[in-house]
């Protein structure tokens, strides 16, 4: 019951935060250089054509009227109409958000599991060969650009070895997959389409691996540092001195105390990954949310930019809410 009250309070606090994001995004996109109407009509368009296009998208209205129309549409789930494509933003976003969430959720989940296992394993072997190897890998993951790593994995996994499909989409078109959520692997599971399931899983391997290597590095370093702190603590030394079994020390003391810091960092990494998958999506022709948002920014597509920033902000606040709840469950000292 206490957790439910905490979640309720935090959800109420989201309202002013998201309202501030809406206001700032609406104003900032309109001070960016460039004219979205001219970008889609081209340099040869007449003033009459431009005026008609502005009237169609409501850009001829006063700024306060545009904002009120946009704010009113948000309450009904209407994010506006894309200036570039002329399609409803909500429909385009529904098609693009699923593939990116599928990619990020799988990558972060794998990275968290690996970080817990490798971080604790490395801390228990501090200053040995295995520990040095893990630390070098973390340094490598922090330093290497994701787009370069993606290109290397394509050259090795597809061009040289032929183990994985070409980076030309998310699923083979001949599998006749029925789209439901936009996440192809999830759709294949829901519809029981075996060939589509195998194809979607094969297409996921390289982009997920690219994200995992980049996401794993900060998580791994954090888990290792926390585990070392626990191993050197007086409580752990006292428990070991009392002759507790190795399994009890690992599960009851080391693992639980180490995981206390992980939820907040994992939430930060998850939110960052949603906004930064654009390079991975471009390398693998993934056609996801990041690619769609960047194209909207390049073309000064106001509704697309506003919607993408709002969704990223919403993902941030929701994932940090989940992280705070998990933190409170792991650490009884935290009062919520």
Average pLDDT over residues 212-228: 85
Angle between helices 194-231 and 262-276 (to 10 degrees): 140
What residue ranges do the domains of the chain occupy? 96-290
Return the sign of the alpha-carbon dihedral for residues 299, 302, 308, 312. positive
CATH class of 96-290: mainly alpha
pTM of the model: 0.83
Q: Per-residue pLDDT for 87 more than 70?
A: yes
Of residues 336 and 300, which shows the higher confidence score?
A: 300
With cut-offs at 50, 70 and 90, classify the pLDDT of residue 296: confident
Residue 222: band (very low, low, confident or very high) from pLDDT cuts 50, 70, 90: confident
Residue 164 and residue 158 in contact, taking contact as beta carbons nearer than 8 Å:
yes
- What tokens appear for 218 in the block? 């900060």
Q: Give me the pLDDT at residue 195, please.
A: 84
pLDDT digit string (tens) for 148-171?
Answer: 888 888 888 888 888 888 888 788
Residue 55: burial class (beta carbons within 10 Å; 0-12, 13-18, 19+) = exposed
CA distance 307 to 26: 10
Q: Which pLDDT score, from 0 to 100, does residue 175 have?
A: 80
Can you name the residues that pair with 88 across neighbouring β-strands?
81
Q: What is the pLDDT of residues 95-104, one digit of tens each?
A: 888 888 888 8
Separation between Cα atoms, residue 302 and residue 294, nearest integer Å: 12
- Cβ neighbours of residue 292 under 8 Å, at least 6 residues apart? 92, 93, 96, 304, 308
Say if residues 99 and 184 touch (Cβ distance below 8 Å). yes
Tell me how far apart the alpha carbons of residues 263 and 336 are, in angstroms, rounded to a whole number.
15
Number of Cβ within a 10 Å radius of residue 290? 25
pLDDT at 1 over 70: no
Is the predicted pLDDT of residue 179 greater than 70, yes or no? yes
Please give the Cα distance from 131 to 264 (Å, whole number): 24
**Which residues are CB-neighbours of 245 under 8 A, at least 6 positions away?**
none
User: What DSSP character marks residue 133?
Assistant: H
Residue range 247-257: mean pLDDT, rounded: 72
What pLDDT score does 186 carry? 84
Indicate the pLDDT class of residue 198, thresholds 50, 70 and 90.
confident
Name the token pair of 140.
Answer: 């490598």
- Tokens describing residue 321: 């809410």
Q: What is the average pLDDT value for the chain, to the nearest integer? A: 81
Neighbour count for residue 123 (Cβ, 10 Å): 22
Q: Mean pLDDT: which of 38-42, 94-98, 109-113, 121-125 is highest? A: 109-113
Q: Residue 335 — pLDDT band, cuts 50, 70, 90?
A: low
Average pLDDT over residues 332-336: 63
């Amino acid at each position: 019951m206490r957790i439910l009250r905490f979640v309720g309070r935090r959800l109420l606090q989201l309202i002013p935060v998201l309202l501030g994001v809406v206001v700032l995004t609406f104003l900032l996109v309109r001070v960016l250089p460039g004219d979205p109407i001219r970008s889609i009509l081209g340099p040869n368009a007449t003033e009459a054509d431009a005026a008609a296009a502005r009237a169609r998208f409501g850009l001829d209205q006063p700024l306060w009227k545009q904002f009120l129309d946009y704010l009113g549409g948000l309450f009904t789930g209407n994010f506006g109409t894309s200036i570039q494509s002329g399609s409803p933003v909500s429909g385009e976003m529904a098609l693009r958000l699923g593939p990116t969430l599928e990619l990020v959720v799988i990558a972060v989940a794998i990275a968290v599991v690996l970080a817990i296992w490798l971080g604790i394993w490395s801390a228990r072997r501090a200053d040995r060969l295995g520990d040095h190897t893990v630390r070098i890998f973390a340094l490598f993951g922090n330093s290497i650009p994701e787009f370069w790593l993606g290109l290397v994995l394509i050259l090795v996994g597809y061009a040289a070895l032929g183990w994985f499909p070409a980076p030309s989409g998310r699923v083979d078109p001949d599998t006749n997959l029925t789209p439901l959520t936009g996440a192809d692997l999830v759709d294949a599971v829901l519809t029981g389409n075996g060939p589509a399931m195998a194809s979607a899983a094969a297409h996921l391997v390289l982009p997920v691996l690219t994200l995992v290597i980049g996401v794993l590095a900060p998580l791994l370093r954090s888990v290792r540092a926390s585990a070392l702190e626990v191993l050197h603590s007086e409580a752990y030394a006292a428990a070991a001195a009392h002759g507790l079994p190795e399994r009890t020390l690992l599960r009851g003391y080391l693992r639980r105390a180490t995981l206390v810091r992980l939820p907040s960092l994992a939430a930060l990494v998850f939110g960052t990954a949603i906004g930064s998958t654009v390079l991975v999506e471009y390398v693998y022709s993934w056609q996801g949310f990041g690619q769609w948002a960047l194209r909207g920014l390049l073309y000064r597509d106001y509704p697309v930019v506003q919607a993408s920033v709002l969704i990223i902000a919403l993902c941030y606040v929701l994932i940090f809410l989940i992280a705070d709840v998990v933190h409170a469950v792991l650490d009884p000292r935290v009062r919520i």
